[in-house]
Amino acid sequence: MAVVRTERILILCKTYPSPSEKYAETSCVAGMTQSGELIRLYPVPFRLIRDSQQFKKWQWISAKIRKASKDHRPESHTIFVDTIKLDGTPISTKNKWADRRIELGKLPMFEDFASLESARRSKGITIALLRPSRIDRLEITKADSPDWTEEEVKKLVKNQVQGGLFDEQDDQEVRLLRKLPYNFHYYYECTVDGKTLKYRHKIADWEAGALYWNCVKEHGLDWEAPFRRKLEVDLPAKDLRFLMGTLHRFPDQWLIISMIYPPRISINSPIQAEMTF
């Protein structure tokens, strides 16, 4: 059995939850260790975790982990949810993300998806940062089914009805996770040696799902325009990067598991000068 160790981790990603037979619902959480290595944590029944352990994107946590036994991807680890401790508040966005950029600077950056896929085949990399040169468009398609199946609903409510894994929930209302009725894909480009290469990947970031529900709440049937404005205009105007991750069951299929969007900075800015020194 893999050695259990305590690790300090900066959270960079939470994927939209999905039904789980064992945990009711789980998210894939990813981040970076203090030494600058990307790590995948699973399973995390995030909405069932007690409030004192609810962490946010860009927040440091510490927890006991061990290498996942049934997931052979090198970055994949099992987290002992009841050992999670929050380590301060999320890193500030002040000074054009100055503090966050320090942490991002520890990670390698791929400028083309083909190079990332090549690294997967040759080195086993299954999670990495990718910087697209241009966002072409957002594709929105209806999900195969807008509602959970009967079996999925049973998974979602089972552990909550029984009291949950990590919370005392006997007196709480069962919180049924809403299924996203749409799939979201980015069409984007990468430029390599003057050549433009085009790609398409699904967005699995929890933030995109939360944005959809917020737009529906505020705009009703007119949700699509503000949703597109955020993903097709606002985020591409920033220095948008994708945290890419593969699927466990289909290791050659990649998803955009998190969108990271520091503000763009000019070549002559003090921050840029410091970064390129």
Where do the H-state alpha helices sit in 17-129?
94-104, 113-123
- How does pLDDT run across 105-129, given as a tens digit for each residue? 999 999 999 999 999 999 999 999 9
Tell me the torsion sign for CA atoms 81, 83, 89, 90: negative
Q: Pick 163 or 96 by higher pLDDT.
A: 96
Query: Residue 107 in contact with residue 160, Cβ under 8 Å?
Result: no
Amino acid at 52: S
- How does pLDDT run across 25-54, given as a tens digit for each residue? 467 889 999 999 999 998 776 666 667 778
**In angstroms, what is the C-alpha Rg of the chain?**
19
Q: Are 5-87 and 109-143+180-275 the same fold in CATH? A: yes
CATH of domain 5-87: 2.40.50.730
Q: What is the pLDDT of residue 23?
A: 46
Q: What fold characterizes domain 109-143+180-275?
A: OB fold (Dihydrolipoamide Acetyltransferase, E2P) (2.40.50)
Amino acid at 211: L
Q: If you average pLDDT over every residue of the chain, what do you get?
A: 84
What the block records as the tokens of 237 is 């105007």
Going from N- to C-terminal start, the domains of the chain cover: 5-87, 109-143+180-275
Q: Count CA atoms closer than 13 A to 153's CA, side-chain side.
A: 5
Question: The whole model's pTM is what?
Answer: 0.85
- How does pLDDT run across 2-14, given as a tens digit for each residue? 899 999 999 999 8
C-alpha span between 154 and 157 (Å, rounded): 5
